[in-house]
Amino acid sequence: MPPPLGDDDSCLLTPLIPASPPPLPPRATARLHPLPLLVGALFATYYHLLVAPAPSYYQSLFLSLGCNDTAAAHLRALTVRPHLAGTEANALAADHVVSTLSSLSFPTRVTPYEVLLSYPVRRSLSLSAPGHATTTFALVQDTYPGDPYAAASAEVVPTFLAYAASGSAAAEVVYANYGRTEDYAYLASRGVNVTGKVALARYGKVYRGDIVINARDAGAAAAVIFTDAKDYTPGKAFPDGPWMPATGVQVGSTFKGVGDPTTPMWASSEGCERVSIAEAMATDDMPGIPALPVSGRDGEEILRLVGGDVAPEDWQGGEGAPVYHLGPGPAVLNLSYTGNETIATIQNVISVIEGKEEPDRYVILGNHRDAWTFGAADPNSGTAALLELAERLSKLQTKGWRPRRTIILCNWDAEEYGLIGSTEWVEENRAMLTSRTVAYLNVDVGVSGSGVDASATPQLDQLLKQASKKEGSKSR
């Protein structure tokens, strides 16, 4: 028997549910993509998990309640300002989620945690080479004429890599392709020494944290990651098309772990024991060297001044790019970065719709709220869908509907830094969730492109296919 709910079961807004039957198999996960079909597909999936699979009056009613205007209004409210985890703007976005769910008469609460987050303080990057004037990179992303968000651009966090070590390096450049272990092995086979150099790698193939950590392990003094147009701009660039513009920069975390780095394997609840910030930053899951992201335009400018052997064909850029060389040098990068690693408050929002027949069995729908910038696609297209779903379920309740199992709606914080909000909540409620959770569905990037793009554990494969077909969408 799972443990009975008590005062410490804060995630479920006690008291909810009595003791339950024996535990079910491990919970399953899924990730779904886009909006006109998304909410309907989600409900179809939920419907199979919560009630008998036969079509019903309530399912038809749910699908008839669709209104893109409602979801669009939520999306506008959530993305009016950049809302990085730990900021006032993200707390205001949490208030919107709480207000919406509470207005539906669903028990809703905020679960805060104190966690280690990382913010940029100072950064600079300059390029020099014999016979060439020194170039100092602006490290900014351009706005465009008529950009409705240009006025709020001053609130956007400067381009950086979270948890990169503070420090400086001035050294010759070595081009490391995608920064994989096999790329460094190739460099070694060609006699290219990375020790003490600045490793320049392009995004793609592996996680950015691995790119920096692999550079560290190869002996590099610092790392720079650029967005290669070959991989990220296959068509017209924004604002003329959907692809990455030349000055676009990918920011993100370089922490390889999950959860709060100062509370590994336990929750960051108030007054908890934690390792020091210095200890957390010194683990192998942290990059340990200074690093910066740059745009494709800046990356190509650096590569024009890199000499040495010509890189292999599959290391080259796309049409219009310069010929990429391995180095080292003669290009020299002077990189300086100062970060602020600090304990900050994050806020998960948890809401509950109690089940009728199996109230002690949980179907959980989650998505994060925090974003590096405005977060329209990632993540708040998913949050808008979650709120639209909640509003439809509330309307069903006024018609007498109750879910078979309890539905828990979760809006996570600090996901971008390393799944921190969701990890802390699970760590705090591990025993209960292990014994009572039937399924977990994640709706991060709710809308991106056309069709449905989903992945799942084997238990949900067929269910997702059925749900997407029911909504008349193409799936893969």
The catalytic residues are 415
Q: What is the DSSP letter of 442?
A: E
Q: For 209-353, where are the E strands, in sequence order? A: 222-226, 252-253, 291-294, 332-353
Query: What distance in Å separates the CA atoms of residue 382 and residue 369, rounded to the nearest whole number?
Result: 9
> Exposed/middle/buried for 447, CB within 10 Å: 0-12, 13-18, 19+?
buried
Instruction: Name the one residue in this structure whose structure tokens are 């008291």.
Output: 15
- Residue 256 structure tokens: 């390889």
Q: What's the rounded Cα separation, in Å, for the pair 257 and 246? A: 31
Residue 325 DSSP label: B
- Give the 3-state secondary structure percentages of the chain, helix then strand then coil, rounded to 5: 30, 25, 45
* DSSP SS3 for 422: helix
Q: Where are the alpha helices (DSSP H) in 117-191?
A: 181-189
Tokens of 45: 């999936």
Distance CA 382, CA 366 (A): 9
Contact by Cβ (8 Å): 177, 218: no
Q: Which helix (H) or strand (E) holds 435?
A: helix 430-436
Q: Please give the biggest Cα pair distance in the chain.
A: 78
The single-letter code of the amino acid at 469 is K
User: Quick one: which H or E segment has residue 229?
Assistant: helix 229-232
Grouping H, G, I as helix, E, B as strand and the rest as coil, residue 375 is coil
